[in-house]
Structure 1
């Protein structure tokens, strides 16, 4: 299983956990399985079936937008990081 790193603002929606082990062959499957386990987390990550624009996802420190996006393959010991964009002024 891959490890998903949960950022502090999203931890209340993941049972307070900072890391979750989740199965899946692609980043999309990993996030779908995570969303099934934690429905309120899914609401914060996805708008329908699309990843929200302000949610950045990295596989082993590589932005999935520059790989195969949600179709990016995931190996058993990979680490997926969810990084919500922060705006301010």
Structure 2
């Protein structure tokens, strides 16, 4: 095997390994949703589908207001809604 072929094989192996590592790492956005729902749960709110969806809204670059509005509409105190949406 030529040295160019060896370098190519090594490079492909490194790329395959790096790709495998990237696939196993958890998504940071999901952690934010769990932070949001956990914060509300700690404040004695029932965390159901509406709360989860509101926290997911905050993942978008402009989603804080939608998250806040959705939480306030289901009777989360505005200060708690604001803090929870910022955690995402």
Alignment TM-score, normalising by the size of structure 1: 0.32
**Greater strand share, 1 or 2?**
1
Greater C-alpha radius of gyration: 2
Greater per-residue helix proportion: 2
| Greater relative CO, 1 or 2 (CA 8 Å, sep 6+) | 1
